[in-house]
Amino acid sequence: MKKLFLVTTGFPYPAKSMETYLETETQYYNSFDEVDIISLGVKRKTLEEKRNINCECKVKVFPVVFGSKLAYIINGISAFFDMNFYREIIELQKKKKLNFKRLIRLIIYISRSHFDVRKAKKILGLNKKKLVKNAIIYCYRFEYQPYVALLLAKYFDNPTLIARAHRYDLYEERNSDHYIPARRLLLREFNKVYLISQDGYDYLSGKFPEYKGKMAISRLGTLNNGIKKCDNKGSCFRIVSCSNMVQVKRIDRIVSTLSKVKTQKIEWVHFGSGEEESKIRKMASEMLGENVKVIFKGRVENKKILEFYRSNDVNLFINLSDSEGIPVSIMEAMSFGIPCIATNVGGTSEIVVDGMNGYLIDDEPDEYIADKVNSIASMNIECYEQLRDAARNTWEQKYNAENNYRTFIEEIKNI
């Protein structure tokens, strides 16, 4: 039976890598004899905070501790001894995309990969005299994790190489220098790259049509935590949002939108924190009327968010982010039958169907979004229940973890 080597950034340690939801997927790894998690970029101070992995098979975690800035600077020279560095420069020159920022990004990308591989090789006890057989190396992200896996592959006997691609690790335009290194190389060397959305699949296959046969869609999913029945005629209309408080998530636009809702009594609950928290709190106190009660929950464990959905009537979920893959936060909300208002970015239109289980927002102003909030709040009970039923049905058909992850695991075992 095959052994799984899972390459992550931070998981299962506390990290800003947004791999929180990988915890759900690991519950379906039981069909492997053993799972080794190679956790890259782990902060030394978090080593005692490892989360438990809920998997019945044998799981070992190998943390690759984040190095000092000086160590990475000294290690930068390793990029110049890697032939892929020069191949990538030629690729950039052909496309007339080579500039100083991208050159620095490439040096960091390759040198950090070599740095992490040296550490991983040591803690895993890998050597070329005893190649690891019957192995799958699975990278949860499609950025620098796969290059680490490619370098490690020389210590394996014909391993299966696979990766998932989400958002920042997929859409080059969402990176500051519009560049993610080694795309073509990784597509050539990997057996399969799984996109979490149709939008992601269309994007990557459009850029690299010659490797379309190596791409497939494998959606993420959330657990079935039951459906919560409620109507929209309570003492207040409760809206929930859940994301980091960073610029791309545009929490400020939620504040602006709710400031335009004048007649409806609203309770807005936000889960998450971040660099814009003080700004958002100030905006809310200055802009929101007495009809809007705000509760900032801060960063909490995912299980506490799910418990909130189970224990409270939540009438609407809102996400006005500027960039997404497919938001897992929306999957979770819809699993409880909560309709959603969300911006039409990335693959969001694959889960939010305008007018059926919520509303999609394109370039409309805040007043338009406020009207949609009012529309849902003032619906008759029958129409509102149809909206909730459609939200739950969307989750059951497309984002049920039980179906999606079992199918995914069986597929990668048979590549």
User: pLDDT by residue for the chain (415 residues), tens digit each?
Assistant: 789 999 999 999 886 655 767 889 999 999 998 999 999 999 999 888 888 888 888 999 999 998 887 888 888 899 999 999 999 999 999 999 999 999 999 999 999 999 999 999 999 999 988 899 999 999 999 999 999 999 999 999 999 999 999 998 999 998 889 999 999 999 999 999 999 999 999 999 999 999 999 999 999 999 999 888 887 787 889 999 999 999 999 999 999 999 999 888 999 999 999 999 999 999 999 999 999 999 999 988 888 999 999 999 999 999 999 988 899 999 999 999 999 999 999 899 999 999 999 999 998 999 999 999 999 999 999 999 999 999 999 999 999 999 999 999 999 999 9
Asked if the domains at 3-221+402-413 and 237-398 fall in one CATH topology, the answer is yes
pLDDT per position as a tens digit, 156-190? 999 999 999 999 899 999 888 999 999 999 999 99
Q: Which fold has domain 3-221+402-413?
A: Rossmann fold (3.40.50)
DSSP, res 51: P
Dihedral of CA 397/402/405/411: which sign? negative
pLDDT on residue 227: 86
CA 199 to the chain's CA centroid: 14
Residue in the structure block whose two tokens are 């739950």? 392
pLDDT on residue 74: 86
Q: Which fold has domain 237-398?
A: Rossmann fold (3.40.50)
Query: CB of 330 within 8 A of CB of 316?
Result: no
Angle of helix 251-259 relative to helix 366-377, nearest 10 degrees?
70
CA separation for the pair 199, 139 (Å, rounded): 20
Q: Give SS3 for 341.
A: strand
pLDDT on residue 228: 83
pLDDT on residue 305: 94
CA separation for the pair 332, 242 (Å, rounded): 10
Domain boundaries, the chain: 3-221+402-413, 237-398
pLDDT on residue 264: 87
pLDDT on residue 16: 61
Close Cβ partners of 189 (under 8 Å, ≥ 6 residues apart)? 150, 161
247-254 long-range Cβ contacts below 8 angstroms, 24+ apart: 247/276, 247/322, 248/321, 248/322, 248/323, 249/274, 249/320, 249/321, 249/322, 250/320, 250/321, 250/322, 250/343, 251/276, 251/280, 251/320, 252/276, 252/279, 252/280, 252/283, 253/320, 253/366, 254/318, 254/320
pLDDT per position as a tens digit, 111-131? 999 999 999 999 999 998 889
Instruction: Tell which phi-psi region holds residue 265, choosing left (phi > 0), alpha (psi between -120 and 50) or beta.
Output: beta
DSSP, res 157: S
pLDDT on residue 129: 85
